[in-house]
Amino acid sequence: MRYMMVDRIDELKKYEYAIGTKCISFSDDCFEHHFPGQPVYPGALLLESMAQLGGSLLELSLRDDGQFFPRCVLSSVKAKFRDFARPGDTLRMRAEIVSRHQDSALLKTLTTRGETKVCEAEILFVLMKVDDARLENFRRDYLEAITRDTRFVE
């Protein structure tokens, strides 16, 4: 994964929810063409941020449960955009597990800027086994970095 779209996970309760932060910076590559003079954070990148938070919640919840450390692969998204995200915005994202099965999980996500809803989505993930030590090490390091100051709720 080249783009890390979650700056940090602030709070996490395994198998239930995660709350994370995404800071939008004018230095992000996407603003060169989206749109000159009227910068708007692309909806696809916002959805990717929400999916990465949800996938991290699932992977952190499942990491000690099974025979393998699962990879969460995005399967489908149903989203509603409510407002624009712009440079300088600090977005709060919340991902909640709605249902979980052996090989898939459905999450409900919400992104806000202050009290304003920016986007809400239902995201379906497929859980897969990936046998790649490099990917495993990278993913572990990434999850450790974004959860360094996380408050884990029991």
The residues carrying an active-site annotation are 34
- Match 């919400």 to its residue by tokens: 110
Taking a C-beta distance cutoff of 8 angstroms, is the pair 85, 41 a contact? yes
Q: Which residues contact 128 (CB under 8 A, 6 or more apart)?
A: 70, 71, 73
Distance of alpha carbon 85 from alpha carbon 97, whole angstroms:
24
Distance of alpha carbon 111 from alpha carbon 120, whole angstroms:
6
